[in-house]
Structures are given as C-alpha cells and as structure tokens.
Structure 1
Amino acid sequence: MARPRPRTLPTPDRPIASVYDAAYTGVPNWDIGRPQRAFVALAETGLIESPVLDVGCGTGELSLFLARRGHRVLGIDLSSLAIRQAKAKAEWRRIPSQFLVWDALDLPGLAAGGLSFRTVVDCALLHILADRERDRFVAGLETVVRPGGLYCVLGDARRDPRDVYGLSPAELRERFGDGWTVEFVDKTVFERRFSANPAYVAGIRRTPA
C-alpha cells in the first residue's frame, strides 16, 4: 500500500485539530489503551478484510490490533500529536503499520493518491461530525471504499432526536441510500476510561459493481 502524498493537512479552516492535539497532551477519556470490544468482535467474525482504512485512528489502538492480526492498515487522524503517538506505539510493539496526518473529510485526496480499501473502520468519528460534515464524509467514502467493500462504524447512541451528536439506526439508513446497503445495526456500548455509553455498531456495504 503506497504512502499518499499529504496534500491536505490540518489547516486554519479546521481549527479542531488544535483541540485534539491539546487532548492528546494527556490521555483523553476515549483512549482506553486497547481496541473497543465491538471492533474485536467484528474482527473475529472475519468481516474485516484488507486493505483497511482506520479513520480518526487516534493513537492507533484499533489499527495496531488489526495489523497484528495480519491486516494491511492505514490509520489517519487530524491530530499530528495522536499520529506521533501511534507511530511510537507501532515501533515499541514492532507492529508493521502506516499512520498519516490526514483530514477524514478529505477522503477523495486519498483516492487521488491511488488508494482504495476493502474495509473502512470508524471508531467514534461519524458520531461527532456536524450534519454537513457527515454528508461530506459519506460522499468521500464512496471514493475510497471498493465496490462490495464494508464501512464499519461505532458511535454513541443519539439520546435526543433533535441533536446532531450520536448515531441512530434511522439516520444511518437514510444517510446511506443508493449505492449502499446497511447490513446490520446492533446495540452495544462505547467504552471510555471510566464509563461506557449506549452505542451502535453498524456495517454498511457498498453495492458491488
């Protein structure tokens, strides 16, 4: 898997990058030091196929777990500090892996670099995006997920239907319309360092060619 040229890096129009860099100066509550159990279960079912793109990979626990299982994985994150930490973990653990500072809202930039993926894993990225950002992200997925490929997402369950934050089965089925099939949406939990929230894990397949 070739390393794409980083033509789109965090810029002033994405000031949230500095917010996440600040979070990763410590240990944010979502960084639990291991992959979420929901993704471990998905991997054990054999649903995850290489090559894999891990969007919003943070410090790389999910990417490294999948790489250790033999998958070819590229982890991307807006936070340069998180990516530095992910690379350091990979070196310490001697796990071959690739990490890149990259905005997940610019997935077409990866496609322009010749990259495509059988699986995209999303651990708590989609659930924090604003409405228009979600539209942009889903459109970007269409450029990097191969026909027949799978997008797997985990996020907090939406508590209030008037809120944007979180996920709901209805929204996933509406947002992924033509060209996609929602294969499953299951109730689960999103684990944090000192708590766990009700969540959904979903698998959404791009229509085969």
Structure 2
Amino acid sequence: MAQPADEPTADPEFRDFDAARLGPHRALGRQGAADAGFRHEELYASPPPWDVGRPQPAFLTLADAGLLHGRVLDVGCGTGEHTLMAARLGLEATGIDLATNALDIAAKKAEERDLRARFLRHDARRLADLGERFDVVLDSLVFHGFGGAERAAYVESLSAAVKPGGCYFMLCFRDEPPTSSGRVHRLTPEEIRTAFTDGWRVDAIDPITIESALPACTDGIRGWRAALTRN
C-alpha cells in the first residue's frame, strides 16, 4: 500500500478545554458520549465539536494522494463530510451512524451537492451484519471512544468489513501533552498496534492535527492518523 502523504510540519500547541461545558459532547468522541447515557441524536441537537463542516485535512490529504479507491465506508459518518469526499471522487461511498438526525443532514448535503452516496443507520460494532466488504474504511474519532471488550468487538467488526488487502484509516487523539483531566480519550501508538495484532498490518501511525469547532481549540488538537491493511 502506498504510504500516506506527509503532513505539514507545523504542530500547534494542544489547547485543553473544559469538558464539563460540552454536555453530551463532553468526551469529544461520538461513541464515548453516547455510551455515557445520551441518545445518539442528542449529539447532533447542536453542532458537535468534531463536525467542522468539511473533511478533516488528514483525510483530505489521503484523497488528494489517490489512496481512496473502490468501495469506501465511513464509520460514524455524522453529517457525512468524509462520505461525500469519497463520493466526489466518483467512488461508491457509504456512511453509517446511529444518529438519524445527522444522517438526514448528510443526505441533504448529498442532494444539494449533486453527489451520490448511501447513508445507513447502523452500529459500527456490527459491521458484519451489513453483509458487505469494503476496499477502504474511514474512521474519524470513533475507535478512540471504545475500550476493553468494546474495542475488541469494534476491531472484529472492522475485520469482517474490510476486504483482504483493503485499508483502514483512523484518526484519534494523541497521547500528549499529559493532562490530569482524564476527560479525553488519547491513544499511544502501542495501544493502536496492540488492538490490531491479529489479521492486520500497521503501515503508518503519523502525527497530524485534528480540526475542532471548539473555541478553545482553534489551532486544532494533536492526533494520530493510523493506516492499516487487512491481511
């Protein structure tokens, strides 16, 4: 698999935030917030901090480099920016999420932009139930919302959905700088590698900047972009 293109060298200082003011968005992770007792639709009752109205630059770089191909699945698609990014390339694009209001917004965007994409209400932990295989799976801030058995179930779900030789690209928060808040899921490269030891090849774990709509994070949040291939 071709390696992802290099990111800009600028690495802005991480700006922490007061998670207590975020309501159902407080974990800055869709699954984490939903599992805290909120309905998925509540996450999109107001614009969540991960919805910046455009693709994340770290994924857009992949698209520009020609690394998206074939059938593309956007896991936890929200309002659909990454699904529509793939559709704009003429690829067969599917987005899944559990928030029906977000899926409605995504479908409306597709219509307004005259793009063809499929949006389904589906659980990321049950991808095998789709009965389909994909060449590329995109994951923006979903993986890091899972832990323990839930993380293992999600990885198993991905294994069922990605074709042999297919690619999984994932964005998550980086394990730096240290903070005592414990409110945000941050991962080490070793945690990522450990989760994907069976049936996967880790091609790259690159430091990137994740855009956020939070006023306190206008310079972005330090993150990882992991690129993996299904054996």
**Secondary structure of 2:209's aligned partner:** strand
Structure number with the bigger relative contact order (C-alpha 8 A, sep ≥ 6) is 2
Indicate the residue corresponding to 1:65 in structure 2: 85
Q: 1:25 to 1:42 in 2, by over 3 A?
A: same
Select the residue among 52, 74, 92 that pairs with 1:32: 52
Structure 2: runs of 5 or more not aligned: 1-33
Indicate the residue corresponding to 1:53 in structure 2: 73
Give the paired residue count.
191
1:188 offset after TM fit, Å? 0.4
Instruction: Work out whether residues 52 and 71 of structure 1, in 8 Å CA contact, stay in contact via their aligned partners in 2.
Output: yes
Indicate the residue corresponding to 1:151 in structure 2: 168
Indicate the residue corresponding to 2:149 in structure 1: 132
Q: 1:161 to 1:143 in 2, by over 3 A?
A: farther
Identity over aligned pairs, percent: 38
| Counterpart residue type for residue 82 of structure 1 | A
1:64 offset after TM fit, Å? 0.6
Q: Identify the range of structure 1 (117-126 vs 158-167) with the bigger mean alpha-carbon deviation.
A: 158-167
Select the residue among 189, 193, 206 that pairs with 1:173: 193
1:131 offset after TM fit, Å? 2.2
TM-score (norm 2): 0.77
4+ runs of 1 displaced by more than 3 Å?
A: 14-20, 159-164
Q: 1:88 to 1:172 in 2, by over 3 A?
A: same
Select the residue among 108, 112, 118 that pairs with 1:92: 112
**Secondary structure of 2:137's aligned partner:** strand
Deviation string 1:51-85 (CA, Å, 9 cap, x unpaired) is: 01100000001111110111111100011111111
Q: Identify the range of structure 1 (46-55 vs 163-172) with the bigger mean alpha-carbon deviation.
A: 163-172
Structure 1: runs of 5 or more not aligned: 1-13
Structure 1 CA distance for aligned equivalents of residues 92 and 124 of structure 2: 18
Indicate the residue corresponding to 2:17 in structure 1: none
TM-score (norm 1): 0.85
